[in-house]
Chain A
Amino acid sequence: MRTPISASSTITISPRAKPLWKRFLSQWQVQAMIWPALIFIFVFSYLPMYGVLMAFQDYSLFKGFFGSQWTGLKHFEAFFHSPDFFRVIRNTIVISLLKLFIGFPAPILLALMLNEVRNMVFKRVIQTISYLPHFLSWVIVSGFTISLLSVDNGSLNILLQSLGLTDKPINFLSTPEYFWGIIVTTNLWKEIGFATIVYLAAIAGVDQSMYEAASIDGANKFKQIFLITLPSITPVILIFLILNIGGLLNAGFDDLLLLGSSPMLRDVADVIDTYAYRVGIINNRFSYAAAVGLFKAIISVGLLTMANYLARRAGSSLW
């Protein structure tokens, strides 16, 4: 797309021999459209990945990246041998799997139920309400979760006591045994509506004539769900599942940091990401944190590749 500005190119004699900067000038519009965005992403999303190299040195803020001493795999070894290693890995996998087992099927179930509702207003209201919590920040969700569960006058303790289920109030947020349940519940509460909308969109795309044919053949509602709806939305379900398995080591961040900040919960709340954040930014052990992060990234890429391989064999894949 040439425009008046390219008049500058008349100076050059042979178009082939035009120096790079002149060619660049003559295409300044295209260049101006691409470079700002590219620079943004490169500098703030990709460049930080250089940070992984810190894992192989004794990084110090004063010496900078080039002045710091290279140390090989020291920090990895330190992480593998640290008493935190087993605990952090176990928490990451357990929390992630709990979120997967409960948070993954729930939206499918809700979408299937909503799809059976014939009253449009009712359906719309339920859908809007269930999607609403997705838009609240974790700061708010953790704020009222802490209050709802509090010992002195938290609503849950009042409810349990009035139902006669407990004698004295339970200190939910200081008891490690309850922590995983709390995390899974709050996540389910916050995110169920998001995936439901995607599944509903997928269900709406199913060819309606299949249902007509099925009902003429005498298939009841449950048979229609299992034999038509679910198989039709399997590709979408699989993509979500691949992403979930690939993110198996992403056990969550904001939620765990805000709800599990108490040192009493460290045994159950520390996952790879929050651990790296704490030792890195709060304790200033940059290189050690980078090693922990890199270890996680390598395993995550492996998991994603594996999940995608399995999905491709099932006939659906990300790439």
Chain B
Amino acid sequence: MKTTASARLGKPSKGNKQNAPSPVLKVLLHTVLWGIALLQIFPLVWLINYSFLKSGEFFGKSILKWPEKLEWTNYVNAFTYGSVPKFMLNSFFITMVTILVAAILSVMLSYAFVRMQWKLRKATMALILLGMIVPIHATLLPNFILFDWLHLIDNPLSLILPYIAFSLPISMLIISGFMETIPRSIEESAVMDGCSVFGIIFRIILPITKPAIATVCIMNFISWWNEFIMANTFLTSETFKTLPFSIMKFTGQYSSNYGAQFAVMTLIALPTVITYLLFTEQMSRGITAGAVKG
């Protein structure tokens, strides 16, 4: 199944003009789709809206409460009492190290699979791809015991290491799929000019593979930025906690500061939503490359 970028956007099918759907159907279709879009976007608008409300404004008789004026106190609270800057830095550090190492390793791995001939190549590739079906939560307990033994509990490495391991199969699949389309002649001439293997990878393959690497990095960023269960299991002290833990600072047993909670949620969502909106094209390319066989 070949899908080019233009085809995925849905080239309008030609030749349907003569039996175009009736206007009633068209209006109905558009109404239904607008309804779906509205339902999909409503909670997000609601979330941002509420993050700007004063604590007194929550009570009222309307579904959406527009703030009278933008109230930044919630964000100030989030930053001061919720340790948002510290946790956000932790999240950024952990995600960035993960996607960087995962990208480098999967480029090298893909190169070895696509361009080199060696014994057990097929078997190794299958072994790595099979890693995709290992469920993350099945590894929680054994990894917990492993990290406990290595004294890595409550260390950023206890997140970075498994994050990298779980990023590799899909990253390798996407990058090697892209690499197969690169003509060999460039590398051949580089070898003639005396370029080493790593010279080829870093000076020739890396620049050409950039689009695929970008796709992989964005996908990994979004999945690990949002990860919570592993972080909740392997981190115990304040020092290394990631952003989602900020929310818990505002949930008490008897009273909760909802405004600050919504502010933190908005702050967590913001980087992923912005990344998604900026790179929609790369995202959907990655999804279709990974999910559609052929």
B145, B269, B280: the one within 8 Å of A140 (CB): B269
Query: With contacts A37-B172, A143-B261 known, is A114 near B10, CB below 8 A?
Result: yes
Q: Is the CB of B141 within 8 A of A289?
A: yes
- Find chain A residues with CB under 8 A from B13 CB: 208, 211
A36, A139, A277: the one within 8 Å of B268 (CB): A139
How far, in angstroms, from A235 to B34 measured CA to CA in the complex? 29
| A113 interfacial contact with B, CB 8 Å | yes
How far, in angstroms, from A88 to B280 measured CA to CA in the complex? 39
> Which stretch in A41-49, A97-105, A306-314 binds the other chain?
A41-49
Q: List 9 A-B contacts (CB under 8 A).
A: A1-B197, A40-B105, A44-B164, A49-B134, A65-B145, A117-B30, A126-B37, A129-B40, A235-B293
A125, A132, A158, A273: the one within 8 Å of B273 (CB): A132
A1, A47, A138, A253: the one within 8 Å of B142 (CB): A47
Query: With contacts A113-B32, A212-B14 known, is A45 near B40, CB below 8 A?
Result: no
Query: With contacts A204-B10, A212-B15 known, is A130 near B36, CB below 8 A?
Result: yes
How far, in angstroms, from A143 to B248 measured CA to CA in the complex? 10
Please encode chain A, from 279 to 291, with 1 for each CB lying within 8 Å of some chain B CB and 0 for all others.
Answer: 0110000100110
| A30 interfacial contact with B, CB 8 Å | yes
Please encode chain B, from 107 to 120, with 1 for each CB lying within 8 Å of some chain A CB and 0 for all others.
Answer: 01101100010100
| B253 interfacial contact with A, CB 8 Å | no
Q: Is the CB of B162 within 8 A of A34?
A: no
Min CB gap B236→A, angstroms: 12
Q: Is the CB of A128 within 8 A of B280?
A: yes
The interface size of chain A toward B, counting residues with CB under 8 Å, comes to 100
Q: Is the CB of B165 within 8 A of A40?
A: yes
B29, B62, B287: the one within 8 Å of A116 (CB): B29
Q: Is the CB of A41 within 8 A of B141?
A: no
Q: Is the CB of B134 within 8 A of A46?
A: yes
Q: Which residue of A lies closest to B196 (CB)?
A: A3
- Find chain B residues with CB under 8 A from A236 CB: 1, 292
- Among residues 190 to 243 in chain B, which have CB atoms less than 8 Å away from a CB atom of chain A? 191, 196-198, 222, 225-229, 233
Q: Is the CB of B111 within 8 A of A158?
A: no
Q: Is the CB of A33 within 8 A of B30?
A: no
| A171 interfacial contact with B, CB 8 Å | no
- Find chain B residues with CB under 8 A from A145 CB: 43
Please encode chain B, from 154 to 175, with 1 for each CB lying within 8 Å of some chain A CB and 0 for all others.
Answer: 0000000110111011001000
Please encode chain B, from 133 to 150, with 1 for each CB lying within 8 Å of some chain A CB and 0 for all others.
Answer: 011011111111110110
Q: Is the CB of B40 within 8 A of A48?
A: no
B30, B131, B145, B165: the one within 8 Å of A286 (CB): B145
Please encode chain B, from 70 to 89, with 1 for each CB lying within 8 Å of some chain A CB and 0 for all others.
Answer: 00000000000000000000
Please encode chain A, from 181 to 217, with 1 for each CB lying within 8 Å of some chain B CB and 0 for all others.
Answer: 0000000010011100110111111001001100100
How far, in angstroms, from A61 to B143 measured CA to CA in the complex? 13
The 9 closest A-B pairs by CB, nearest first: A51-B142, A137-B226, A48-B142, A44-B165, A48-B139, A33-B108, A212-B15, A33-B112, A29-B197
Min CB gap A6→B, angstroms: 11
Q: Is the CB of A41 within 8 A of B165?
A: yes
How far, in angstroms, from A171 to B265 measured CA to CA in the complex? 23
Q: Which residue of A lies closest to B107 (CB)?
A: A33
- Find chain B residues with CB under 8 A from A133 CB: 40, 43-44
- Find chain A residues with CB under 8 A from B247 CB: 139, 143
> Which stretch in A13-21, A71-79, A147-155 binds the other chain?
A147-155
Q: Given A201-B3, A208-B15, 7 more contacts at CB 8 Å?
A: A32-B108, A36-B105, A41-B127, A48-B139, A49-B138, A131-B280, A132-B41
| B19 interfacial contact with A, CB 8 Å | yes
- Find chain B residues with CB under 8 A from A198 CB: 287-288, 291-292
- Find chain A residues with CB under 8 A from B162 CB: 44-45
How far, in angstroms, from A239 to B135 measured CA to CA in the complex? 19
| B189 interfacial contact with A, CB 8 Å | no
Q: Is the CB of A297 within 8 A of B33?
A: no
Q: Which residue of A lies closest to B120 (CB)?
A: A34
- Find chain B residues with CB under 8 A from A114 CB: 10, 33
Chain B residues near A (Cβ < 8 Å):
1-3, 7-16, 18-19, 21, 25, 29-30, 32-34, 36-37, 39-41, 43-44, 46-47, 50, 58-64, 105-106, 108-109, 111-112, 116, 118, 124, 127-128, 131, 134-135, 137-146, 148-149, 161-162, 164-166, 168-169, 172, 191, 196-198, 222, 225-229, 233, 244, 247, 258, 261-262, 265, 268-269, 272-273, 275-277, 280, 284, 287-288, 291-293
- Find chain A residues with CB under 8 A from B280 CB: 128, 131
A126, A131, A159, A273: the one within 8 Å of B33 (CB): A126
- Find chain B residues with CB under 8 A from A61 CB: 145, 148
Q: Is the CB of B36 within 8 A of A137?
A: no
- Find chain A residues with CB under 8 A from B169 CB: 41
| A50 interfacial contact with B, CB 8 Å | yes
How far, in angstroms, from A280 to B60 measured CA to CA in the complex? 43
| A250 interfacial contact with B, CB 8 Å | yes
B11, B21, B62, B226: the one within 8 Å of A204 (CB): B11
Q: Is the CB of A200 within 8 A of B10?
A: yes
B164, B198, B228: the one within 8 Å of A137 (CB): B228
- Find chain B residues with CB under 8 A from A29 CB: 196-198
How far, in angstroms, from A49 to B134 measured CA to CA in the complex? 9
Q: Is the CB of B138 within 8 A of A293?
A: yes
